[in-house]
Amino acid sequence: AIDNAKELGATKLGGVTYKAGGIFTGSKPTKEEWNHSVNSMKEIANYARRFNISIGVEQINRYETYFINTVDDAIKYCEDVNEPNLFILLDTHHLIIEELSFYDAILKAKKYLKHFHTSENNRGIPGTGLVDWTEVYRALKKIDYDGWLIIESFYQGFGNIWKPVSESPEQLIYQGIQNLKKVENKVFNY
């Protein structure tokens, strides 16, 4: 993946970079699993740094992984790996499941937060679900976040998704951008 990112000219590679997905043990990671992942990530980050590529660690909800579920987990992982090109990627879809407050979670992640997925609780159009976008944008403003905001949604036909979350992928993107721009304009007083 790093070699592909290099070929594309990418400077970031993020997601569930720390563990194979779809595997559950029924408990939190053991110390041995954690240390194995941390040591592997050190090697990965060192290799990526040779090409000026940073590696993102995305906290994923407990229904998709058992490894890094919370912002605290992601921070501890970044601290344990202790490589300058490792960062946190937050996703509102996962935050709404695992955290009590978008605002507090984002503030807590400030030191490592370099990438952000905007997604509704149902993976539908941002601004049409349960995510408190005003709280999200207030927190991003408070920490002077200057990274990317990416709409991450999955449309019918992706993986096991059978239920449409919008009339079309184009509507999801267009309306999602419009909805998020309204909140951004309100919070940032544009």
Q: What is the pLDDT of residues 90-124, one digit of tens each?
A: 999 999 999 999 999 999 999 999 999 999 999 99
Scan for tokens 């194979």, then name that residue: 20
Q: How far apart are CA 15 and CA 91, in angstroms?
A: 10
Q: Which amino acid is at 140?
A: L
Q: Of the listed 33, 58, 135, 167, which one is catalytic?
A: 58
**CATH number of the domain residue 136 falls in:** 3.20.20.150
Phi, psi of 96 (to 5 degrees): -65, -25
Q: Of the listed 64, 83, 135, 152, which one is catalytic?
A: 152
Structural domain that includes position 28 = 2-188
Two structure tokens written together for 70: 């919370």
pLDDT at position 165: 82
Q: How far apart are CA 42 and CA 79, in angstroms?
A: 11
Tell me which residue of 78, 49, 73 sits closest to 61, measured CA to CA.
Answer: 73
Active site residue 135: no
86 with 41: CB under 8 angstroms?
yes
Radius of gyration for the chain, computed over Cα atoms and rounded to the nearest angstrom = 17
22 with 46: CB under 8 angstroms?
no
pLDDT digits (tens, 9 = 90+) for 68-99: 999 999 999 999 999 999 999 999 999 999 99
Tally of structural domains, the chain: 1
Q: Span 53-76, mean pLDDT?
A: 95
pLDDT band per the 50, 70, 90 thresholds, residue 187:
very high
DSSP H helix total and E strand total for the chain: 7, 5
Active site residue 152: yes
